[in-house]
Amino acid sequence: MPSLSYQEKSLYGELLADLAVFVPYFIFIHTPQQLTVSFIAGAIVVLILARVLLQAVIAMVTRNRLQDERDRLIRLRGYRAGYLTILGEMLFGTAALWLHTMLGQLNPAHMALHFFSVFVAILMLAEVVKTVTQIIAYRRPL
Amino acid sequence: MPRIRNTIRELRAAREMTQQQLADRIDLTRQTVIAIEGDKYSPSLETAFRIAQVFGVPLEQVFQYEGKGKR
């Protein structure tokens, strides 16, 4: 088992919190009665709380919290991957919404809510891609 | 394959210095020192100079460029 730096532990904590919230979110969001603003907002609040809690625990058990040039480079790579994911998904998500609207599968009254849920899903996926990219970068030659 | 090789492990061993001790002296994490020693990360020029300074040797004794000179 390789030794993990504070930054790596922090990333694993982030991923754990993300998956703990995103997996149930994506399972339940497909049921029509769950597509509400309070459900989506609730998922975001739970995610923030889970992240803060895990980061606090990791910070408490890690003595050396130094961040160096390699950590900064890896962080930049992660954000780049996340940004590209957002770009790709925005195109795909907008096209999917447009297609569903054209086919009459979306109720115009709920359009804003659908847009909101798609936007949140895009951010969630981009966040996971960013974190996974960083975790992989720590184990690969740069 | 990495084009920059280094002799940090040998220099460290000659001075009985641990990875953590080296990391502390140049403000890096031990994981980054491990990555540099394993040729998995090429440090910035500033860090390279600081490593050479810690060992008290010229930069080219610590890092060797093995490229073919292509641009």
Q: Which amino acid is at A66?
A: L
Reported in sequence order, the residue ranges of A43-142 that DSSP labels E, i.e. its strands, are none
Domain of B36, CATH number, reads: 1.10.260.40
Cα separation, B18 vs B31, in Å, equals 12
Please count the residue pairs, one from chain A and one from chain B, whose beta carbons lie less than 8 angstroms apart: 45
Q: Where exactly are the structural domains of chain A? A: 6-139
pLDDT surpassing 60 at residue B70: no
pLDDT score recorded for residue B45: 94
Residue B52: other Cβ atoms inside 10 A: 18
* Domain-embedded: residue B66: no
Check residue B71 and give its pLDDT: 47
Residues of B in contact with A67 (CB under 8 A): 29
How many domains in chain B? 1
Q: How far is CA A85 from the centre of its chain?
A: 11
What is the interface pTM, i.e. ipTM, of the complex? 0.84
**Which candidate from B31, B40, B43 shows the least CB-CB separation from A5?**
B31
Share of chain B above pLDDT 90, in %: 80
- Establish if B69 belongs to a structural domain: no
By the CB < 8 Å criterion, does B21 face chain A?
no
Taking an 8 Å cut-off on Cβ atoms, the answer to whether B27 and A68 are in contact is: yes
CA dist., res. B17 & res. B11, Å (int): 9
pLDDT average, residue stretch B10-36: 93
Does the residue B44 lie in any domain? Answer: yes
Residue-range definition of the domain harbouring residue B54: 4-61
The encoded tokens of residue B62 equal 């610590």
| Reported pTM | 0.83
Which of A9, A69, A74 is the best mutation test for B, with the most CBs of B within 10 A? A69
- What's the confidence (pLDDT) of residue B2? 58
